[in-house]
Amino acid sequence: SQQGEEDPQALSIQEGENATMNCSYKTSINNLQWYRQNSGRGLVHLILIRSNEREKHSGRLRVTLDTSKKSSSLLITASRAADTASYFCATAPEGGAQKLVFGQGTRLTINP
Amino acid sequence: EPEVTQTPSHQVTQMGQEVILRCVPISNHLYFYWYRQILGQKVEFLVSFYNNEISEKSEIFDDQFSVERPDGSNFTLKIRSTKLEDSAMYFCASTFLQGSNYGYTFGSGTRLTVV
């Protein structure tokens, strides 16, 4: 698989349920970021977790990072219809490289 | 909250024509980027720009592409002799400090359609 692969590719849940998305990557990273993209719109930065952090919270978002497994998860608790969007993980490679490397994304649908 | 502004939001151009996509990054940010997203595919890095010069570019960013910061606020991507496969959403992004654990701020994108 390529750097920044999310699974599942698509997830459909009922409003109020929790949604979990996973991301795997291959190279050493400086940090890992999660972004949301509403259909046809721009990317919105959600949360950043550093390589020396294991867990981070922001409102209803919880991100974990396991550098030994090169994986991360994004949990959205108490989902709302407005959370319907695509979610991407993006890794900032170690060593000062400039670019973010994005995954394919998870398409999340929250059913009312 | 500060925003990255991109214009136009949509651009339709004939194959072979030149297009200029414009971006106004956040004023105190120092690093600027262009990414693109072909419909249904990953967001791909094109180029990064710092201190008035390209700091890194991808294989996609060949001689057909160029970037410029003509003044203190605008950051442009020029695509010469557009091809059908250049049709994509182009995103500008900026960040305050590279590798500093700041997230990037992305613009809303320019949807480029080459016909």
| Residue B23, domain CATH | 2.60.40.10
The answer to whether the CB of A70 falls within 8 A of the CB of A41 is no
Fold designation for A5-111: Immunoglobulin-like (2.60.40)
Please state the domain extents for chain A. 5-111
Q: Mind listing the pLDDT tens digit for each residue in B23-78?
A: 999 988 889 999 999 988 889 999 999 988 999 999 999 999 999 998 878 999 99
CB atoms A50 and B101 under 8 Å: yes
Establish if B22 touches chain A: CB-CB under 8 angstroms.
no
Cis peptide before A112 (omega within 30 of 0): no
List, as ranges, residues 50-89 from A with C-beta within 8 Å of B. 50, 88
Establish if A103 touches chain B: CB-CB under 8 angstroms.
yes
Q: What count of other Cβ atoms lies within 10 Å of the Cβ of residue A111? A: 11
Q: How confident is the model at residue A5 (pLDDT cuts 50, 70, 90)?
A: confident
All residues at 6 or more sequence positions from A96 whose CB lies less than 8 Å from its CB, including other chains: A30, B98, B99
Q: Quick one: pLDDT at residue A2?
A: 39
Q: Of B99, B50, B44, nearest to A28 (Cα)?
A: B99
Choose the weakest-confidence range: A17-21, A97-101, B9-13, B73-77. A97-101
CB atoms B103 and A96 under 8 Å: no
Position B49 in a domain:
yes
Establish if B31 touches chain A: CB-CB under 8 angstroms.
yes
CB atoms A42 and B108 under 8 Å: yes
| CA–CA distance, A6 with A87 (Å, rounded to integer) | 9
Q: Quick one: pLDDT at residue A81?
A: 95
Q: Mind listing the pLDDT tens digit for each residue in A46-96?
A: 999 999 999 999 999 999 999 999 999 999 999 999 999 999 999 988 875
The dihedrals phi and psi of A83, each to the nearest 5 degrees, come to -80, -10
The alpha carbon of residue B19 is apart from the nearest alpha carbon of chain A, in Å, by 20
Q: Quick one: pLDDT at residue A1?
A: 34
Measured between beta carbons, the chain A residues lying within 8 angstroms of B31 are 98
Nearest to A42 among B102, B103, B107 (CB): B107
Q: How confident is the model at residue A99 (pLDDT cuts 50, 70, 90)?
A: confident
Print the domain residue range for B30: 7-98+104-108
Nearest to B43 among A97, A98, A102 (CB): A102
CB atoms B56 and A104 under 8 Å: no
Establish if A32 touches chain B: CB-CB under 8 angstroms.
no
Q: Quick one: pLDDT at residue B99?
A: 57
Q: Quick one: pLDDT at residue B40?
A: 84
The better pLDDT of the pair A3, B110 is held by B110
Q: Which two tokens stand for residue B88?
A: 């994509």
Which residue has tokens 């959600």?
A46
| CA–CA distance, B29 with B49 (Å, rounded to integer) | 11
Which residue has tokens 């995103």?
B91
Q: Quick one: pLDDT at residue B41?
A: 87
- Burial status of residue A91 (CB atoms within 10 A of its CB: 0-12, 13-18, 19 or more): buried
Q: Quick one: pLDDT at residue A97?
A: 57
The total number of structural domains that make up chain B: 1
- What's the angle, vertex CA A5, arms to CA A26 and CA B113, rounded to 5? 120
Position B50 in a domain:
yes
What would the mean pLDDT of A102-108 be, rounded to a whole number?
92
β-strand partners of A11: A108
Position B1 in a domain:
no
